[in-house]
Amino acid sequence: MKKTSVNTGKTLKVLGLVIGLGALPLLLGVTGCATGSRYEQSTGERIDDHGTSSRVRAVLADDSQYKYDEVNVETFKGVVQLSGFVNTKDQKNRAGDLARKVKGATDVENNITVKE
């Protein structure tokens, strides 16, 4: 009878080891996704940024004062970058103000050039 309990103890240890080692890649895979770089986006961030860029483009296109045909919009981790050309400094400033009010925009880098 003691032999059975010794074998059962060894079996449980081996089973615990197998389960522990089997779970290790899963744990590393989950935590590996959580670490991010300031230069890389997760899939969720990329989707959010695409939506933010689309909303900024729509707000600029719907503006009643100006048309922003030559303005490009890119978003990375919530930071909206405006680039391209406008005719006046007022247009540049207004584009930045409109972009700042868009949901998802955490900051705006207004790199629009005023034509002279």
Q: Which CATH class, in words, describes the domain spanning 43-114?
A: alpha beta
Task: Indicate the domain borders of the chain.
Answer: 1-35, 43-114
Residue 20: CB partners within 8 Å, gap ≥ 6? none
Each residue's pLDDT tens digit in the chain (116 positions)? 555 555 677 777 776 766 766 665 665 555 445 556 778 888 899 999 999 999 999 999 999 888 888 999 999 999 999 999 999 999 999 999 999 999 999 999 999 999 98
User: How many Cβ atoms from other residues are within 10 Å of residue 53's Cβ?
Assistant: 21
**Pair of tokens at residue 14:** 């081996």
Give the C-alpha separation, 44 to 80, whole Å.
16
